[in-house]
Structure 1
């Protein structure tokens, strides 16, 4: 075994300071996550319970196998916007009757579960994850449809939700809808396009037009039940497949539907007894990343605390040393790892990464990208040495790699380095961030400095005096703006990641992701990387 050593001095002052900073950021994160859990607030939660209904997360808990984890996705969706944190929708991956499923649940305590633009983005991301990883989809439905004041941002792109359901079904990925309340207008197509539909007695209301709209459009008088109730749809229209007496019965029936799917993972799970915990305490991950991201840290200290047995076979350890690459197992699954060591990517690192990605594709091994990069190196020497074509080579390899990619932003993730390390635009199966992460076109000080230089040169070219005081004020303002826009909660609110996670949970989160991706076939590219500029 190639067990990694550790460079962390857990008794030292630097470690203590980094740990304290991380704990402060985790406290801030927890406060924001609680807003998502709180839904529409105490008043609307009390009203919902008064109707004898379960909350969205309570429904999920009853649906899941006992004592199994739920990997919630995009819990900060909508953060920093005019909409509630969480975007009135809970999404995630959990185990139902031994089957890993993608679960979505409307939160009816937030404006009746109405969908806003962030709800739509979150739901589409959930469908994307289900499709890529071949995860059965269970929709726990209770929504009044679109949040009408924002319809201009929902209606046109919103049709993709229904397209996704049909594409999942066409691909042989089961879809199950459990309707707990309203599923009206466009929302009626969620059960309408699902493979299996469960409705609840005197609660489910599924119709294209409710009684007021029918009255307005046709003059016809009709009540909720005869127009779209569970009894009608399971006896008359045939839209409902199962009639549940109450919410627990509906969730029991959903579990039985999954039980009868005859669903099997493409690769199965690692044999029992083959998974070995890391040799180091995951608690120590709190003190790995310095509070100032300009201070480098050794990513091997992270790898040693997340992979099985801390066993890591490093690839090309003496070449391109600011990028660590190598092979490991995580919860029994084989894994190739690329991790930034000193921030900057040079030509050697780019070529090393390209070869490593090709090898992973030859062997059908998923890849994990651990981000802490300021981007590709600039300067006359490096431009003449071919940094553009070598960086392009790495990005080409990442773009055309066919094995599943997982990304974790630990520290900086700036510029084209974010792309080369498989940022959001490069379709990693899952992407998570630590509270210490930052991502932008470049660091705040660098960006403000570049703007200052350009303005100074422009003034000189025009023969005008340069206002130093105004420049200082502008630089401070730009730095503040870029700093705020590069923080993980801001980025997560815009769904540029799948969640901000506690570093101590990294091994568990990645293990759940690897298990999910192995539900689908894991097959690498055999050639087909496009033209590499040599």
Structure 2
């Protein structure tokens, strides 16, 4: 039997302590997500509604098929920066007229929908997801263009947004722009470069330069409607493919455009008959300890996210601090790599390398569940070849072409983050639990290393070492690294695609697996040189 037998005790003290710690983190996370939901605040939301306009998420809800899910991406973008949480943009994957689409929606209650540096990064990430997974793109546009005080950080890289739209189209991936209000300056190129456009009567304003700029540049007097209104673009310029009388009509027409695409996935959809896990998803809250130095068995997580809790483990007796094996999620075959005891030794590295190659040979996507402090260090391990064995694993991950999905459930430190397919290794999607932490190394280790280096430097110069200053510096460094290792900080910089409730892990991964099968899934048939 390959069905996992759970050893988790939901009545035990450890379980309840872990659950309490996780619920506290989730409460903090909900408070941060709430900041994104309020947009520009009650004043601007009320003003927007009084103008007879829908909010960004209201537009998305109307666009989506009834009762279908929406996987929102990067909701904490810009967290910890001078800009509002969410970066004034909503992005995600949802089903429109039976077709999975990548949807973006400007939030006009946040500085008129203007783009700041984090808006740009979030948009570029959305375009990357659409391109790699061959998802049609729907842009719900109402933006005043670049946030001008931030232009130095937006103008040069911002051109990639328009480049991406043309490349999506060239790749045969449909792009649709629905314009509800201002689409000014650079924002005018979103409808200008999309395959299909819908403009709303007396609302849409699409122009490279508004009346004030035209007046300054040419001396010409003009008004919004004659310069860039929906009526003009529908009758005169030809920019508008479809003319909508109001917002609901625009969304109806957008849904009709998607229907007429007759878009087909390259692979299968979710299997509605797939057997659910045998264990309650609620129990995922009590698995990861509040202190990540305490080990836990990732098989308890796997048992609660895969079909029928069925996990066919690969090399279970070799390299035991990394669990590898085969399973299905919503009927999709997957290979899973999950850190069991945190440290990656030579055996784990070689085991992972072989497993990744097998997955590519069979065209099976890989799921990485992170809880690693990195590759093992020390004289014995260096002499045993940990560098070349770790390099083998990183080589395999780097050149694997099957889709990768990563979830940070615990620690994800050092090169172990790389070997387990961290952000730099381009997983199709990467999410984190509120319990996750990620940095070059743990706070205490990093502060200790700096202290040792400082002591050695003082000794080499024959100077006395200030122990009080050392203690203060170590405390400050530990505090800084701890803060910079937390999920909200990392998610704010788009180092993941979102921080999720552990109980939603199976659903989120299922939606991602469905999305990646919109494109062909094919493994690598060749690799770089493996140092043996």
Report if TM-score (shorter chain) is over 0.5: yes
Q: Deviations over 1:345-403 (max 9, x none)?
A: 00000000000000000000000000000000000000000000000000000000000
Aligned match of 2:319:
320
Aligned match of 1:25:
25
Q: How does 1:111-510 map to 2 (within 5 A)?
A: 111-273=111-273, 275-510=274-509
Q: Following TM superposition, by how much is the alpha carbon of 1:408 offset from its aligned partner in structure 2, in angstroms? A: 0.1
Q: Following TM superposition, by how much is the alpha carbon of 1:339 offset from its aligned partner in structure 2, in angstroms? A: 0.2
CA RMSD of aligned residues (A): 0.6
Q: Deviations over 1:408-427 (max 9, x none)?
A: 00000000000000000000
Stretches (4+) displaced over 4 A: none
Q: Deviations over 1:70-115 (max 9, x none)?
A: 0000000000000000000000000001100000000000000000
Aligned match of 1:66:
66
Bigger drift between 264-273 and 1-10 goes to 264-273
In 2, distance between residues paired with 1:265 and 1:182?
Answer: 34
Q: Deviations over 1:174-205 (max 9, x none)?
A: 00000000001111000000000000000000
In 1, distance between residues paired with 2:9 and 2:391?
Answer: 37
- 2:25 counterpart SS class: helix
Aligned match of 2:107:
107
Normalised TM-score (structure 1): 0.99
Q: Following TM superposition, by how much is the alpha carbon of 1:268 offset from its aligned partner in structure 2, in angstroms? A: 2.2
In 1, distance between residues paired with 2:522 and 2:83?
Answer: 40
Normalised TM-score (structure 2): 0.99
Is this contact kept in 1: 2:270–2:514, CA < 8 A? no
Aligned match of 2:54:
54
Aligned match of 2:35:
35
Q: Following TM superposition, by how much is the alpha carbon of 1:52 offset from its aligned partner in structure 2, in angstroms? A: 0.5
Aligned match of 1:525:
524
In 2, distance between residues paired with 1:48 and 1:272?
Answer: 40
Is this contact kept in 1: 2:431–2:498, CA < 8 A? yes
Q: Following TM superposition, by how much is the alpha carbon of 1:9 offset from its aligned partner in structure 2, in angstroms? A: 1.4
In 2, distance between residues paired with 1:501 and 1:168?
Answer: 29
In 2, distance between residues paired with 1:99 and 1:42?
Answer: 34
Is this contact kept in 1: 2:165–2:194, CA < 8 A? yes
Is this contact kept in 1: 2:88–2:114, CA < 8 A? yes
- 2:6 counterpart SS class: coil
Q: Following TM superposition, by how much is the alpha carbon of 1:272 offset from its aligned partner in structure 2, in angstroms? A: 4.5
- 1:458 counterpart SS class: helix
In 1, distance between residues paired with 2:333 and 2:89?
Answer: 33
Q: Where does structure 2 lack aligned partners over 5 or more consecutive residues?
A: none
In 2, distance between residues paired with 1:176 and 1:270?
Answer: 25
Is this contact kept in 1: 2:272–2:330, CA < 8 A? no
Q: Deviations over 1:248-267 (max 9, x none)?
A: 00000000000000100001
Q: Deviations over 1:39-66 (max 9, x none)?
A: 0000000110111000000000000000
In 1, distance between residues paired with 2:467 and 2:104?
Answer: 54
- 2:296 counterpart SS class: coil
In 2, distance between residues paired with 1:29 and 1:445?
Answer: 25
Q: Where does structure 1 lack aligned partners over 5 or more consecutive residues?
A: none
